[in-house]
Amino acid sequence: MNIAFAITQKEAVILEPGNPLQKKGIPVEVRTDPLTGRTSRICHFRALRFEKPDLTRLIEASQATCPFCPDRLLALTPCFPAEILPEGRLFREDMALFPNIAPYDGLGAVATLGSRHYIPMTEIEPERIVNGLRLALDFFRRVHAIRHPEGVYYLLSWNYMPASGSSLIHPHLQIFASSTAPNQLREELAAAGAYTSRHGSTYWDDLVAAEKTHGSRYLGRMGRVEWLANFAPFSVVGDVLGVVAGARTMLDLSAADQSDIARGLAAAMAAYDQMGIYNFNVCFFPGAEGDAFARLHLLFSPRIYYNPVLATPDTTALRTLYNESICVGFPEEIAAAVRAEF
């Protein structure tokens, strides 16, 4: 097996408060991602139980000026120029896709996930996610058809609720096509290409096989999508990783794949909702069209407030500037807690 799950175990020793003669050992793990070598620290252990606040005032106050609610959307959102999208916007049922007024790249869009201003995590049914994915894929196919120069990497992300970085409560997807891969994706693609050159196999296929053998982080399969708990998490409460067998780009997703991705994301939401978590990020990681070594995969990464009273985010200097992740529980234990939903 070419996949190495490297763990360095450490221990911090302190003297107990109020009892300077009593030593206490505190375990810390440093895990190395098998693909990129990125490290993630398993530390700051705590129970994975959080208190959900009453969001009533926040929801009501934000709805009064929400640009994505139906009575304001057409007046407050822009349109694409005719050479990109002749009709200006795309619609599917009660969802709309339009240009991002604060784009990340030369070709960015936003897709609302319906007319409801606030949808609790456990009420975001798979069918709604599927329709959002189809709207995004409609846009990507339009971009691909006109051979737009930014149509190299088709990127989709989802920031849900404020702790995720979302500036609006109204659920929506961030969609953009770019000739420039984001940092993490660029590093993964370079490492996956080198892995294939060394071993003659695809890293992501080997990872899934290794995780199935290991067992403790494997969550299950839905169609072509294999679901895992991430060995070296990004989130402080662990990630759920989905790998789509046989797919390289977003354009490779079949209708069945979209349904299976949606079911897996809904399962992850249900599992983390039971822990009292109500914020998350999702990102899809595609290859370019000719990247034979790539596998389309996605990460569901829950977000929390370290101190809800102060609204302390879970993004610290260690994460932002050192690019070092922290997880407050062992991924294997997190997998055991979420597996029942898969």
- What pLDDT was estimated at residue 75? 97
pLDDT tens-digit readout, 134-156: 999 999 999 999 999 999 999 99
- What pLDDT was estimated at residue 308? 86
pLDDT tens-digit readout, 93-127: 999 999 999 999 999 999 999 999 999 999 999 99
What predicted TM-score, i.e. pTM, was given to this entire model?
0.96
Q: What is the mean pLDDT of residues 219-234?
A: 98
Percent of the chain exceeding pLDDT 90 equals 93
CA distance 313 to 109: 26
- What pLDDT was estimated at residue 44? 84
- What pLDDT was estimated at residue 309? 84
Cα 30–Cα 34–Cα 35 angle in degrees, nearest 5:
125
Query: Is residue 1 over pLDDT 80?
Result: no
Q: What is the mean pLDDT of residues 67-92?
A: 97
Tokens of 191: 């490492």
> Of 11-20, 29-38, 190-199, which gets the smallest average pLDDT?
11-20
Q: What is the mean pLDDT of residues 48-63?
A: 94
Q: For residue 215, which of 115, 327, 111, 335 has the smallest C-alpha distance?
A: 335
pLDDT tens-digit readout, 282-335: 999 999 999 999 999 999 999 999 888 888 989 999 999 999 999 999 999 999
Q: Cα-flanking dihedrals φ and ψ of residue 183, to 5°?
A: -50, -55
- Residue 15 pairs in a beta bridge with 23
CATH number of 59-320+329-341: 3.30.428.10
Q: Per-domain residue ranges for the chain?
A: 59-320+329-341
CA 286, 246, 292, 131 dihedral sign is negative
